[in-house]
């Protein structure tokens, strides 16, 4: 597994905390994002009473969808490394009055529990130094029955492919400063490579695995059972 750079990790925490309010609006209200989150949770297929871990939960936009599926007898554990995002996620939980949903401040490679029925992550893989190894770790350490990933990357099919130049601008604007210099390639190429590696791991490690694209080919959704 790639060793994280502490300085870059700290800078990323500050960056994503600063942008948490704007990200919260996009994550909750951007056109089509509710359909994507519904598809993600549908692919994960959590059952009432399950314990589900939402890694990289951000401001908690997926938590309501997961909590609805596991019910009051289940549990949802959100994990994120950005204090600003965790604070907003906890505010969301408090407003909703959920007593079976918690959010922990931790990174994706050091999860605060060792057992779960299902694990999911949305729009996270592009932020991880070694996403394939991280997903392997979730499967080994949490031993979940089900896993589902949702990510954005460049589209390889029409009509989305014609919008790739615009997508590249959005990715560059939303990446932490210094991403291109650190990796020696564009933030979009880094994103594409990381998303492909993580989703390939799900397909390789899981039985009854599925993979597909949505939103013009920009949204990648993979899920599997073990």
pLDDT means over runs of 10, the chain (226 residues): 56 65 74 95 98 96 97 97 93 96 94 93 95 97 96 94 96 74 80 98 95 97 95
Region of 75 (left: φ > 0; alpha: ψ -120 to 50; beta: rest) is: beta
Distances (CA, A) of 66 to 59, 61, 127, 166: 14, 10, 22, 32
The rounded Cα 64 to chain-centroid distance in angstroms is 15
Model pLDDT, residue 20: 65
Give the Cα separation of 144 and 138 in Å (integer): 8
CA angle 211, 217, 220 (to 5 degrees): 35
- The pLDDT of residue 2: 47
What is the structure's pLDDT at 132? 98
Q: What is the CATH number of domain 6-225?
A: 3.40.50.150
> Looking at residue 215, what DSSP letter applies?
G
């Amino acid at each position: 597994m790639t060793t994280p750079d502490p300085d870059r990790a700290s800078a990323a925490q500050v960056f994503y905390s600063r942008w948490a309010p704007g990200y919260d609006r996009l994550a909750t209200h951007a056109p089509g994002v509710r359909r994507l989150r519904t598809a993600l949770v549908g692919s994960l297929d959590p059952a009432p009473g399950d314990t589900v871990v939402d890694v990289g939960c951000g401001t908690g936009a997926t938590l309501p969808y997961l909590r609805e599926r596991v019910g009051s007898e289940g549990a949802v554990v959100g994990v994120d490394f950005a204090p600003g995002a965790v604070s907003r996620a906890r505010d969301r939980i408090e407003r909703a009055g959920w007593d079976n949903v918690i959010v922990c401040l931790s990174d994706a490679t050091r999860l605060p529990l060792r057992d779960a029925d299902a694990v999911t992550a949305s729009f996270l893989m592009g932020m991880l130094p070694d996403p394939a190894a991280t997903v392997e770790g979730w499967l080994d350490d949490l031993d979940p029955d089900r896993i589902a990933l949702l990510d954005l990357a460049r589209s390889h099919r029409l009509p989305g492919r014609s919008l790739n130049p615009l997508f590249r601008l959005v990715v560059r604007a939303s990446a932490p400063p210094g991403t291109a210099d650190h990796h020696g390639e564009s933030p979009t190429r880094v994103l594409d490579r990381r998303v492909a590696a993580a989703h390939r791991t799900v397909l390789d490690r899981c039985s009854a695995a599925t993979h597909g694209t949505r939103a013009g080919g920009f949204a990648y959704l993979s899920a599997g059972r073990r």
